[in-house]
Amino acid sequence: MTEYYKHESAFVEEDTEIGEDTNIWHLVHVREGASIGKNCNLGKDVYVGVDVEIGNNVKIQNGVSVYEGVKVEDDVFLGPHMTFTNDLYPRATNEGWDVVSTHVKKGASIGAHATIISGVEIGEYAMVGAGAVVTEDVPDFALVVGNPASINGFVCYCGEKLDDVKEKDEDAVVFACSHCDKEVSVDREVYDKLKER
Ligand SMILES: [Zn+2]
């Protein structure tokens, strides 16, 4: 048995895998076939759908439903009441719809109440602003805001916005973070999309 904490009001179905040091708080529901990594935190009223895969060190704030078809990599932050979807053409009366998958890559953060339309990929260390409605893929390290969400800038591993361009060539733009001194390389094509605005 792995050592994780589950509050007595939470319901974890059979055939699930939950890593050590993960905390599952009040009224959480984890469906069969789901796997959750080590050192995760699932806040009150979190729902994890059938066969969903969640990596290590993932923090899921209150009221988030991670539906079937969503994949969450390591170190991801899902803000309070953010919303995933898994059906592009929902109708109450259609049967057997196709699940459209969504992929949240390593280190990405999704702000409170943001909505992610199914079928998109949220890039590594990307940041989705609170309340944004994401309708297309988000590049690595991009900060996206608004409805529909668009690129507003780039963020560091530490989450701070990147302002200082250190080097620029035809393939990449390298930023230096003034907060933690790390360097972040952004694809030149992606960077130019921001400049065109
Ligand atoms: Zn930084």
Catalytic-labelled residue, pool 26, 29, 81, 113: 81
Do 25 and 10 touch, CB atoms closer than 8 A?
A: yes
d(CA 5, CA 63): 19
60 DSSP β-pair partners: 42, 78
Q: Quote the mean pLDDT of the chain.
A: 95
pTM of this structure: 0.95
pLDDT at residue 25 greater than cutoff 80: yes
CB 149 within 8 A of CB 132: yes
Output the CA 175–ligand 1 centroid distance in Å: 10
So what's the pLDDT on residue 138? 98
* Each residue's pLDDT tens digit, 64-99: 999 999 999 999 999 999 999 999 989 999 887 789
Q: What distance separates the 2 farthest-apart alpha carbons in the chain?
A: 56
Distance 58 CA to ligand 1 centre (A): 19
Distance 109 CA to ligand 1 centre (A): 14
Q: Is the pLDDT of residue 1 over 80?
A: no
Identify whether 7 is a catalytic site residue. Answer: no
Query: Residue 194: is its pLDDT beyond 90?
Result: no
DSSP secondary structure, 125-189, as one string: T-EEPTT-EE-S-B-TTEEEETTTTEEEEEB-TTSPBP-EEEEE-SSEEEEE-TTT--EEEEEHH
Tell me the per-residue pLDDT of 105-160, one tens digit each, with 9 for 90 and over: 999 999 999 999 999 999 999 999 999 999 999 999 999 999 999 999 999 999 99
Residue 48 has pLDDT above 70, yes or no: yes
Confidence of residue 2 (pLDDT cuts 50, 70, 90): low
As to burial, measured by CB atoms within 10 angstroms (0-12 exposed, 13-18 middle, 19+ buried), residue 73 is: buried
- Distance from Cα 101 to the centre of ligand 1, integer Å: 30
Structure tokens that stand for 142 in this block:
């991009």
Q: What is the pLDDT at residue 29?
A: 98
pLDDT for residue 196 is more than 90:
no
Q: Which helix (H) or strand (E) holds 169?
A: none
